[in-house]
Amino acid sequence: MRIVLLGAPGSGKGTQSQRLMQQEHIPQISTGDLLRAAVARGTELGRKAKEAMDGGRLVADQLVLGLIRERLAEPDARRGFILDGFPRNLAQAQALDRLLATLRQPLDLVVQLEVDYGELVRRIAGRRTCADCGRVFNLFTAPGQLSENEVCPRTGSAHRLIQRPDDNEATVTERLRVYDEQTRPLIEFYRARGLLRVINAEGEVDEVTRRLEQALHAIERPKAAKTARASTRKLGSPKRSAPRRGASRRAAKSASGMRRKAAATARAASKGKPPRRAPDGTRTGTRRGARRARR
C-alpha cells in the first residue's frame, strides 16, 4: 500500500498515519519529522531548513526531495509507505511521480483529510508531542488520551510532552496560508489522476480512522478483483487440480459426458455404424429406436 495523506496542518495526518502504520506495518514518512530531526541533530540540511520552518514557510524543494529520495530507498519502504506532509506543492508532486515511476512503485491512493479552518486552529493550539516516542496528543480535542496510566514505550515512564515551536499563533496563520496557496492545488492534481478520496476528518479520532479505512478499501477492492480474475483464468486452464464443487462439478461432468458421446459418435461414424441418436435427439442405434423408426 503506497498512499499520501493530504491535509492542512492540524488535519490529523500525523495521528492517522501513526495508527495506519501500526495496522498495516508500513512506515510513516513525514517530511516534517525528518526535517525536525535534522534540525535537532544540527546537520547542514537542518540549519538550512530551520529558518523556513520557524517562519511557517516551505523548506526548499531540493532539500526535501533529497530527504524523500533517501528515505524511500530504505528497505522497509519496499513493502509500502504512508507519505505524511509530502508532497506540499506541484513541483514536489511531479518529482514524486517521476521518482516512483523509476522505482516502479506508483501511488495507490491519495486521501485528503478535510477539516474546517476554526477547528484546525484549535487542534494546533492543543497539540503536544512526546519528546521521546513522538506520539501526538491533544489537550483540547482528545484530553482522555492523556491518562496517568499511559507510559512512553521508549522510556517506560510518563510521556514527556512538548509543544512544537512552530505551533504558535503567528506561524499557524502563515502555515495555513501556505497550505491554501501551494498545497491545496494538489487536490485537483490527484483528482485528475483518479487517485483522490476525500474524507471528513472532523469528530472523534476513532471515527476518522474508520472513514480512512473505508477509503483504503477502495484500493483493496480493485486489487481483490484483479486476483479473482487471475484465478478465474487459472480455473479455465486444463491442468487444474483443485476439486470442483456443486454446480461447477455438475457442469463439468455434463460437459465431459457430452465430449465422450461426441467422440463415440465420431468413432461409430468412422466404422460405418449409424449414430445412436438422430439430430433431433431420438435414439436410432437401439432396438427401441429402430421400432420407433419403423412405426
Interface residues toward ligand AMP, by CB under 6 A: 9, 31-32, 35, 52-53, 56-59, 64, 85-86, 88, 92, 166, 175
The C-alpha cell that represents 8 in the structure block: 492542512
Reply yes or no on whether 127 is catalytic: yes
Tell me which of 2, 128, 175, 197 is the catalytic residue: 175
Given the DSSP bridges, would you call strands 196-200 and 109-114 parallel, antiparallel or unpaired? parallel
Reply yes or no on whether 123 is catalytic: no
Q: Quote the CA–CA distance of 90 and 85 in Å, as a whole number.
A: 13
Instruction: Work out how close the CB of 65 gets to ligand AMP at its nearest, in angstroms, rounded to a whole number.
Output: 9
Residue among 54 and 188 whose Cβ is closer to ligand AMP: 54
Instruction: Work out how close the CB of 229 gets to ligand AMP at its nearest, in angstroms, rounded to a whole number.
Output: 37
Q: Of the candidates 15, 18, 30, 36, which has an alpha carbon nearest to the alpha carbon of residue 166?
A: 36
Reply yes or no on whether 177 is catalytic: no
Instruction: Work out how close the CB of 239 gets to ligand AMP at its nearest, in angstroms, rounded to a whole number.
Output: 51
Specify the amino acid at residue 173: T
Tell me which of 50, 57, 122, 164 is the catalytic residue: 164
Tell me which of 13, 19, 123, 128 is the catalytic residue: 13
| Residue 156, Ramachandran bin (φ over 0: left; ψ between -120 and 50: alpha; else beta) | left
Residue among 88 and 135 whose Cβ is closer to ligand AMP: 88
Instruction: Work out how close the CB of 199 gets to ligand AMP at its nearest, in angstroms, rounded to a whole number.
Output: 19
Residue among 73 and 228 whose Cβ is closer to ligand AMP: 73
Rounded (10°) CA dihedral 210, 167, 120, 17: -20
The C-alpha cell that represents 268 in the structure block: 461409430
Reply yes or no on whether 229 is catalytic: no
Reply yes or no on whether 164 is catalytic: yes
The residue nearest ligand AMP at its CB is 32
Active site residues per annotation: 13, 88, 127, 164, 175
